[in-house]
Structure formats: structure tokens, C-alpha cells
Amino acid sequence: MTTSTYTVTGMTCGHCAASVTEEISEIAGVEHVDVVVETGAVTVTSAAPLDPAAVRAAVEEAGYAIA
């Protein structure tokens, strides 16, 4: 199991967190996503290391950006 933490900019509420969680959860191998809106921290637990480009694309699809 692998855990990675990203800083996502632009999130301001629970709906933001839900959008980011939903998009990242669709990446193959993702087991858990934890979002802290106040700090922008997004911790992703996955079966194997994830392609950073896939995570960035998922965050952008939700309407946000990785810092």
C-alpha cells in the first residue's frame, strides 16, 4: 500500500472536498482519499504508486489545481 499527499488549491468547502475525492477515487488502485479543506491537503492511499499526471488530471477535472 502507498500513501501520497498533495496540496490542492482553490478548495473552500465540503462540496469542493467531495468533488476532489470523487475524481481521485476513480483512478485505478485508489483505496482511500482524505481531504482537509482548511490546508488543501489531499492524502491518497492506493494499492501501488499512482502516476502523478493521473492525480493532477483528476484534480483538474474537479476544477482545482495541485500546488
Average confidence (pLDDT) over 2-13? 97
Q: How are strands ordered across the β-sheet holding 2-9?
A: 30-36, 41-46, 2-9, 65-66
Residue 62 maps to which CATH number?
A: 3.30.70.100
Domain span at 32: 2-66
Q: pLDDT tens digits, residue range 41-63?
A: 999 999 999 999 999 999 999 99
Query: What's residue 38's pLDDT?
Result: 96
Structural domain tally of the chain? Answer: 1
